[in-house]
């Protein structure tokens, strides 16, 4: 089995991957929060994880990867309540959209995709274990993790917790390093919010506890790799370590991998900044799935990826170059036989490709090996120096590369067509819908029925059903 080195955020060093179970790498991947469509920043991280698993397979390992879907959090609860539908109904569409998106980007499906709301009991068990060991305390129906009880707190994200006052709490799932606090494992229900009735009381889990519970349930107390984007290192992963290691007393994760962000004009692409594109946005503008996949994998995962129109153009022409070369190899009428140099050239390119990826998934080095080979082989063909057996060998090399790159097959049109939930519908967030509904109410009060009908039609066209209830209220839901 090939030796692979990966950068561990915990030690800030490249480390040799040494799976705990012979020949099998167990990976936990923090999946999307399904309150909306994922954007291509999110997919930067998911594509890196796909490259990892494909390379592990190509290197002779078995892979057991679990990805969670965060289908309960502050925003989901709010949006579902605003839409008057259950959490399940609200998240269902976004889960399906995410799965469709991953297919359009040729992401391999993890062995297990698990939902947080299917694991409330496991989270309750874990919280009880932490309670018994004295890591927690309760306030007004919520249960908090006391970070002062876990001396290793801060080790992953390198924050200094010395000055943090014990007992200062934070309820939000997401917060900044400067706000390191005791965090909520279990949150008491707020009026009108969805909650679960459990042994530890009524309420709902905090975000962090879901990943600890599900990782340990499916993969064991200690796993090989846990990965996500850099924004997850704090507080999410720091809190996961505190929860899991607090409960088991064992190492939770041997290698922590974090992908740097995809950025736009110097800022992280994110929902809250509004500077994001979903895949559907880009497809609607005529971009191809293969272009996006290639762009997202072309920059090594620990470097920021600057998303620009130019980078899209370059990615598209790179994919075309690979496809044209591949087609040419198969179509060109070549003299029989082979030449030693070209066979050697292919062997070297394959070795360089693997060496690049084995060095912390350096896709830039791997791609340089591919494109150097393409250039040399094209030149040889131009000069009439390529032989039939060389072409056969080069086809095999390209197929091997494509086991990781997954862009050679020209199925872009099909992949875009297969996306169910359309692009127009895609952009209507709960906030936008609420705003339109409010505008419609105002129009109705003015008895401007033309305008109110127009708004209703606009919502219908976007896949939103508007219902006027008997008590004079208006509700909406996704079709």
> According to the binding rule CB under 6 A, does residue 231 interact with ligand AMP?
yes
3-state secondary structure of 202: strand
Q: Is the distance from CB of 102 to CB of 109 less than 8 angstroms? A: yes
Strands (DSSP E) found in 70-218:
112-115, 136-139, 142-145, 169-170, 182-187, 196-198, 201-205
Our finding on whether 237 is near ligand AMP (CB under 6 A) is no
Instruction: Round to whole Å and give the CA distance between 36 and 32.
Output: 9
Backbone angles phi, psi at 475, to 5 degrees: -125, 160
Burial classification of residue 50, based on how many CB atoms lie within 10 Å of its CB (0-12 exposed, 13-18 middle, 19 or more buried) = buried
| 45 part of the interface to ligand AMP, by CB under 6 A | yes
- Give least dist CB 33 to ligand AMP, A: 4
> Rounded to the nearest 5°, which phi and psi values hold at 144?
-115, 155
Helix (H, G, I), strand (E, B) or coil at 223: strand
The piece of 14-22, 76-84, 114-122, 262-270 that touches ligand AMP (CB under 6 A) is: 262-270
- Using CB under 5 A as the binding rule, whether residue 211 contacts Zn ion is answered as yes
The dihedral formed by the CA atoms of 32, 34, 37 and 42, expressed in degrees to the nearest 10: -10
Burial-class residue 250 by CB neighbours within 10 Å (0-12, 13-18, 19+): exposed
Q: How many CB atoms lie within 10 A of CB 223?
A: 25
**Pairing, β 62-69 against β 112-115:** parallel
CB 290 within 8 A of CB 407: yes
Q: Considering the rule CB under 6 A, would residue 32 count as an interface residue with ligand AMP?
A: yes
CB 211 to Zn ion: min, Å: 3
Give the interface segment with ligand AMP, choosing from 36-44, 182-190, 443-451, 453-461 (CB under 6 A): 36-44
- Is residue 235 close enough to count as binding ligand AMP by CB under 6 A? no
Please select the residue that binds ligand AMP; options are 6, 10, 17, 30, rule is CB under 6 A.
30
* Residues 159 and 237 sit within 8 Å (Cβ to Cβ): no
211 binding partner (options ligand AMP, Zn ion, none; Cβ < 5 to 8 Å by kind): Zn ion
Burial class (CB in 10 A: 0-12, 13-18, 19+), 189: middle
Q: Which of 7, 44, 54, 208 binds ligand AMP (CB under 6 A)?
A: 44
CB of 8 to Zn ion, least distance (A): 17
Among 8, 9, 33, 416, binds ligand AMP (CB under 6 A): 33
Main-chain dihedrals φ then ψ at residue 241, nearest 5 degrees:
-60, -45
Q: Which is nearer to ligand AMP, 228 or 356 (CB)?
A: 228
- State the binding partner of 45 from ligand AMP, Zn ion, none, CB within 5 to 8 A by kind: ligand AMP
Shortest reach from residue 40's CB to ligand AMP, in Å: 8
Choose which of 229, 246, 289, 356 interacts with ligand AMP (CB under 6 A).
229
205 interface partner picked from ligand AMP, Zn ion, none, CB below 5 to 8 A per type: none
- Chain residue whose CB lies nearest ligand AMP: 229
Does 261 participate in binding ligand AMP (rule CB under 6 A)? yes
- Write down the least CB distance from residue 34 to ligand AMP, Å: 8
Smaller CB separation from ligand AMP, 311 or 343: 311
Instruction: Give the nearest distance from C-beta 301 to ligand AMP in angstroms.
Output: 9
Beta strands in 331-393 (DSSP E): none
Separation between Cα atoms, residue 366 and residue 221, nearest integer Å? 34
**# of chain residues touching Zn ion (CB under 5 A):** 2
Cα–Cα dist 217/32, whole Å = 19
Which of ligand AMP, Zn ion, none does 26 bind, CB closer than 5 to 8 A by kind?
none
Decide if 130 contacts 146 (C-beta within 8 A): no
Give the residue among 279, 297, 281, 276 at the shortest CA–CA distance from 101. Answer: 279
Task: Indicate the length of the chain as a whole number.
Answer: 479
> Residue 30, interface with Zn ion (CB under 5 A)?
yes
Which residue do the tokens 């259950």 mark? 86
Segment lying near ligand AMP (by CB under 6 A), choices 260-268, 291-299, 342-350, 405-413: 260-268
Report strand pairing: 24-29 vs 13-16: unpaired
> Which of the stretches 30-38, 125-133, 396-404, 447-455 binds Zn ion when contact is defined by CB under 5 A?
30-38
Q: How many residues bind ligand AMP (CB under 6 A)?
A: 17
* Comparison of 33 and 416: residue with beta carbon closer to ligand AMP: 33
Contact set with Zn ion (CB under 5 A): 30, 211
Contact set with ligand AMP (CB under 6 A): 30, 32-33, 41-42, 44-45, 228-229, 231-232, 259, 261-262, 268-270
């Amino acid at each position: 089995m090939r030796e692979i080195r990966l950068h561990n955020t915990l030690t800030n060093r490249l480390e040799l991957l040494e799976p705990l179970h012979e020949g099998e790498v167990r990976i936990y991947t923090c999946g999307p929060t399904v309150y909306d469509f994922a954007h291509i920043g999110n997919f930067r991280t998911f594509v890196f994880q796909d490259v990892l698993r494909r390379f592990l397979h190509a290197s002779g390992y078995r892979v057991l990867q679990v990805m969670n879907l965060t289908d309960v959090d502050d925003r989901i609860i709010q949006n579902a309540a605003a839409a008057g539908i259950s959490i399940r109904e609200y998240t269902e569409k976004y889960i399906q959209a995410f799965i469709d998106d991953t297919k359009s980007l040729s992401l391999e499906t993890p062995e297990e995709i698990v939902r947080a709301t299917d694991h409330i009991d496991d989270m309750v068990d874990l919280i009880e274990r932490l309670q018994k060991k004295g890591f927690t305390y309760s306030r007004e129906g919520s249960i908090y993790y006391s970070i002062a009880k876990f001396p290793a707190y801060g080790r992953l994200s390198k924050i200094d917790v010395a000055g943090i006052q014990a007992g200062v709490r934070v309820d939000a799932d997401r917060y900044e390093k400067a706000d390191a606090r005791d965090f909520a494992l279990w949150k008491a229900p707020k009026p009108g919010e969805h909650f679960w009735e459990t042994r530890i009381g009524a309420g709902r889990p905090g975000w962090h506890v879901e990943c600890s519970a599900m990782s340990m349930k499916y993969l064991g107390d200690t796993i090989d790799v846990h990965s996500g984007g850099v924004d997850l290192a704090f507080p999410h992963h720091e809190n996961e370590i505190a929860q899991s290691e607090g409960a088991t007393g064992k190492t939770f994760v041997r290698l922590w991998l974090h992908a740097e962000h995809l950025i736009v004009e110097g800022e992280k692409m994110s929902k809250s900044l509004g500077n994001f594109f979903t895949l559907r946005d880009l497809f609607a503008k005529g971009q191809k799935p293969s272009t996006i996949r290639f762009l997202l994998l072309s920059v090594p995962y620990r470097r920021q990826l600057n998303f620009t129109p130019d980078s899209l153009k370059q990615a598209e022409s790179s994919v075309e170059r690979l496809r044209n070369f591949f087609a040419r190899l198969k179509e060109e009428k070549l003299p029989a036989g082979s030449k030693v140099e070209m066979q050697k050239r292919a062997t070297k390119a394959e070795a360089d490709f693997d060496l690049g990826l084995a060095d912390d998934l350096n896709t830039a080095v791997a791609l340089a090996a591919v494109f150097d080979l393409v250039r040399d082989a094209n030149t040889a063909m131009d000069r009439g120096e390529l032989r039939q057996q060389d072409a056969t060998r080069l086809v095999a090399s390209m197929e091997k590369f494509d086991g990781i790159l997954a862009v050679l097959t020209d199925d872009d049109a099909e992949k875009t067509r297969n996306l169910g939930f359309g692009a127009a519908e895609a952009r209507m967030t709960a906030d936008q819908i609420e705003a339109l509904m409010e505008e419609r109410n105002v129009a109705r009060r003015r008895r401007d029925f033309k305008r109110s009908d127009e708004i209703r039609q606009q919502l219908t066209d976007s896949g939103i059903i508007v219902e006027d209830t008997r008590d004079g209220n208006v509700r909406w839901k996704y079709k």
